[in-house]
């Protein structure tokens, strides 16, 4: 239990409205987008500035109290679950866009700025921030940096790490350190690269300097309808082999198409085996030729129908379906768990078969949405949390799918991170020596391991059952 005096001291830093202490309000923070496990923090602190984050961390350091960073709570791997960390530090009030440098194409934002706001702020200058997770109307830049987030357009533009020039990090001691900065290619170790994807285990990102890119002049957005996932996967490989690099190459299977169509009614074919959403962007000249090349490859793979968005409204409707696909899943089941793994692009048909086999073996329904161009799969395992046996089967199937990704030459996560959910699987990818080196690296930033404890790295000292649903308390 936290000492009541601590809350009083924190209040002097963040004000009375900067602390959440009432049990019913704390319930809001019991989980993020990974709802299989829940634990309520003892206290949530809402700083308004990097200086307040620093002051809060100094108070926690004095009492050696562990903490969990949180942005918008849209994470899908349980990264914000408080495990042996009574205090949650939430950046949602740190919303200032501090500087826009149009000439040099960069922007400095505080950690709680929402992803979509960055592009909104620079659109008038013909610029945009390229990483576009489907959660972009809600997720924060701090969360994106912590998770090294991707999105549908990362096939062409890269993930968050390719767009972060510098960060300010509040170390668990409370010290603020500036890593990287406005200039590219700085000498020395790539410490920004270490913090991006650090999942809050190295400290709290308070500010980030982001690279902006020129907004594309024109788009061609195609919807290709196939009878099977195999045929659609064949087209994906064919498009890349033809030398076309689409900005986005997304696949949705029959189950998800049915849910999306029920939600948005834009005339998607609910009897299709799979649909591909292909977006080409860049200078207007040449886009039609590229679109024809894509269509030709799709025809060679047995496409049933191809639609090309005729205007911005039709393009927006297609993207609405894809980006809100997760929301539409609520029509299929009371609960769902979104898995995130990667396989080499050519192994997409294999992993889809393995997912189907896991669904059958565990008597589950699994829908598939994925960034097919990257081989980044997102099987969505449907369940009802009131059925404990089904929850156990979901966990077993999820684990099998990730094991299959690794066996096929892929990885445990494409963009959602390891969090609490997958840390027990890290030994599938890394040797004990690898994990020890990572652990020592972490201790350089956080010698007492108080920043987001029990995340990312398996803990040699504590025996953790990572597959117990509904972890309610500290382990």
- Segment interacting with ligand FAD, rule: CB under 6 A, options 135-143, 212-220, 231-239, 294-302: 135-143
End-to-end CA distance of the chain: give it in Å, rounded.
15
Binding of ligand FAD at residue 109 (CB under 6 A)?
no
Least distance in Å: CB of 124 to ligand FAD? 25
76 touches ligand FAD by CB under 6 A: yes
Task: Establish if 416 lies at the interface with ligand FAD (CB under 6 A).
Answer: yes
Which of 134, 173, 233, 335 touches ligand FAD by CB under 6 A?
134
Instruction: Closer to ligand FAD by CB, 298 or 394: give it.
Output: 394
The reply to whether 205 sits near ligand FAD by the rule CB under 6 A is yes
Nearest distance in Å: CB 353, ligand FAD: 24
User: Per rule CB under 6 A, is residue 75 in the interface with ligand FAD?
Assistant: yes
- Under the binding rule (CB under 6 A), the answer on residue 110 touching ligand FAD is no
The residues in 140-169 that bind ligand FAD, with binding defined as CB under 6 A, are 140, 142-144, 146-147, 149-151
| Residue 79 interacting with ligand FAD (CB under 6 A) | yes
CB of 206 to ligand FAD, least distance (A): 7
With a CB cutoff of 8 Å and minimum separation 6, the contacts of 316 are: none
Kindly determine how many residues on this chain lie close enough to bind ligand FAD according to the rule CB under 6 A: 37
The token pair that represents 405 in the structure block:
């990704």
**Which residue, 216 or 417, has its beta carbon nearer to ligand FAD?**
417
Residue number with CB closer to ligand FAD (234 or 421): 421
Q: Which is nearer to ligand FAD, 191 or 205 (CB)?
A: 205
Q: How far apart are CA 68 and CA 419, in angstroms?
A: 11
- State yes or no: residue 32 binds ligand FAD (CB under 6 A): yes
Q: How far is the CB of 81 from ligand FAD (least distance, A)?
A: 9
Q: How far is the CB of 172 from ligand FAD (least distance, A)?
A: 11
Contact range with ligand FAD by CB under 6 A, out of 73-81, 215-223, 307-315, 430-438: 73-81
Distance CA 417, CA 426 (A): 11
Closer of 111 and 291 to ligand FAD (Cβ): 111
Give the binding range for ligand FAD (CB under 6 A) out of 41-49, 134-142, 256-264, 432-440.
134-142
Of the candidate residues 54, 66, 110, 135, the single one contacting ligand FAD (CB under 6 A): 135
Q: Does 247 bind ligand FAD (CB under 6 A)?
A: no
Q: Would you tell me which residues interact with ligand FAD (CB under 6 A)?
A: 32-33, 68-76, 79-80, 91, 111, 133-135, 139-140, 142-144, 146-147, 149-151, 199-200, 204-205, 326, 415-416, 419, 452
């Amino acid at each position: 239990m936290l000492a009541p005096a601590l809350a009083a001291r924190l209040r002097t830093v963040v004000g009375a409205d900067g602390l959440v202490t009432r049990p019913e309000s704390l319930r809001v923070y019991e989980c993020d987008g990974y709802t299989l496990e829940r634990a309520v923090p003892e206290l949530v602190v809402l700083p308004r500035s990097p200086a307040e984050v620093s002051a809060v961390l100094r108070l926690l350091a004095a009492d050696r109290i562990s903490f969990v960073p949180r942005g918008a709570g849209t994470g899908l791997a349980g990264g914000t679950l408080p495990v042996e960390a009574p205090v949650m530090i939430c950046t949602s009030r740190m919303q200032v866009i501090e500087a826009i440098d149009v000439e040099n194409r960069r922007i400095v934002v505080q950690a709680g700025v929402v992803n979509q706001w960055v592009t909104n702020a620079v659109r008038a200058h013909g610029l945009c921030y390229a990483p576009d997770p489907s959660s972009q109307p809600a997720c924060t830049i701090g969360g994106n940096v912590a998770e090294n987030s991707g999105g549908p357009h990362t096939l062409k533009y890269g993930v968050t790490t390719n767009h972060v020039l510098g960060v300010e990090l509040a170390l668990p001691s409370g010290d603020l350190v500036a890593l990287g900065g406005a200039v590219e290619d700085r000498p020395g170790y790539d410490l920004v690269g270490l913090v991006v994807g650090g999942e809050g285990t190295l400290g709290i990102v308070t500010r980030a300097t982001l690279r902006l890119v020129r907004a594309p002049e024109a788009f061609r957005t195609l919807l290709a309808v196939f009878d099977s996932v195999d045929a659609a996967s064949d087209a994906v490989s064919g498009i890349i082999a033809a030398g076309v690099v689409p900005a986005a190459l997304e696949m949705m299977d029959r189950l998800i198409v049915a849910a999306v169509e029920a939600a948005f009614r834009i005339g998607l074919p609910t009897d299709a085996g799979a649909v591909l959403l292909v977006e080409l962007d860049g200078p207007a000249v040449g886009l039609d030729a590229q679109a024809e090349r894509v269509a030709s490859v799709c025809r060679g793979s047995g496409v049933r129908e191809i639609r090309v968005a005729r205007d911005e409204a039709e393009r927006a409707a297609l993207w609405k379906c894809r980006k809100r696909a997760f929301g539409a899943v609520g029509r299929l089941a009371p609960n769902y768990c979104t898995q995130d793994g990667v396989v080499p692009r050519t192994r997409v048909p294999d992993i889809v078969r393995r997912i189907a086999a896991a669904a059958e073996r565990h008597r589950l329904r699994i829908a598939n949405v994925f960034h097919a161009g990257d081989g980044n799969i997102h099987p969505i395992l449907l369940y009802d949390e009131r059925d404990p046996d089904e929850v156990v089967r979901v966990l077993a199937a999820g684990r099998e799918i990730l094991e299959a990704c690794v066996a096929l030459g892929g990885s445990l996560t494409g963009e959602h991170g390891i969090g609490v959910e997958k840390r027990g699987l890290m030994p599938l990818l890394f040797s004990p020596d690898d994990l020890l080196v990572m652990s020592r690296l972490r201790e350089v930033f956080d010698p007492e391991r108080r920043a987001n404890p029990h995340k990312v790295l398996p803990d040699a000292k504590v025996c953790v059952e990572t597959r117990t649903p509904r972890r309610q308390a500290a382990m």
